[in-house]
Structure 1
């Protein structure tokens, strides 16, 4: 069975690298002192899991994990009356799309490595934009991408 936590941690780390901003799991990211980080940031939500890839060769060592990444814009720290904007939210989401980017030279695989631990490979990645939100009261605008990761355990050597 493929464990969820290493996959979530790997996707969280990849999104943080691609956006250059903190990524929280199901919550606003926290700094080293345990305080909420001001936007922009990303919140990663683990969603559905299926342990059947619906393939003829499925030998119960595969799984499909779904995630939602909410890219959150917000007021600029130290700038009174500033607001998060669509431009900032889309900038983050554009970097989030790089999770599924292929190498520019046409070689197989993905342009950015998803580190999910020993013995598990992600052989396919999908992403789709799932909208976003705006909230004029707290000056936050979001963009949302849903990811689907197709995983398989590799036999021990």
Structure 2
């Protein structure tokens, strides 16, 4: 059975690498001292999980995991009357789309590796834009991408 935590950690790490900004899982990312990181940042939400291959020989060695990445813009710290904006949220989202980027050479696979745990391979990745939100009171704008990862345990021996 494929464990979710290594997959979540792998996607969190890949998003942080691609955006160059912190990624929290189900919460605002924190600094080393435990304080909330000021925007921009990403919040990653684990969503649905399916563990069936829909075959008679289903041995629970495959799983499909869904995630939502919310890219959060916001006011610039220590700048009065600054606001987060759509441009900042989309800048993060544009970099996150590289999760599904294919190699420019046309080689099989993906341009950016996704470490999902020992003995597990992510053989297919999907992404779709799911809109965004704005909160006028906090001056925060978000953009949202939903990722679907198709995973399979590799046989040993």
Corresponding residue number in structure 2 for 1:142: 142
1:13-63 CA-partner distances (Å, limit 9, x unpaired): 000000000000000000100100000000000000000133677432000
Corresponding residue number in structure 1 for 2:25: 25
Report SS of the residue matched to 2:132: strand
1:104-129 CA-partner distances (Å, limit 9, x unpaired): 11100000000112100000000000
For the structure 1 residues 55 and 114, does the alpha-carbon distance in structure 2 shift closer, same or farther, using more than 3 Å as the test?
farther
Corresponding residue number in structure 2 for 1:78: 78
Contact 1:129 1:146 in 2 (8 A): yes
Tell me how far apart the structure 1 counterparts of residues 124 and 39 of structure 2 sit (CA, whole Å).
31
Aligned length in residues: 157
Corresponding residue number in structure 1 for 2:114: 114
**TM-score of the two chains, using structure 2 as the length reference:** 0.97
Report SS of the residue matched to 2:93: helix
List alignment gaps of at least 5 residues for structure 2. Answer: none
Report SS of the residue matched to 2:6: helix
Contact 1:25 1:44 in 2 (8 A): yes
Report SS of the residue matched to 1:11: helix
Report SS of the residue matched to 1:45: strand
For the structure 1 residues 107 and 4, does the alpha-carbon distance in structure 2 shift closer, same or farther, using more than 3 Å as the test?
same
Q: Which runs of 4+ in 1 moved over 6 A?
A: none
Tell me how far apart the structure 2 counterparts of residues 57 and 11 of structure 1 sit (CA, whole Å).
29
For the structure 1 residues 58 and 22, does the alpha-carbon distance in structure 2 shift closer, same or farther, using more than 3 Å as the test?
same
Tell me how far apart the structure 2 counterparts of residues 55 and 142 of structure 1 sit (CA, whole Å).
39
Contact 1:53 1:64 in 2 (8 A): no
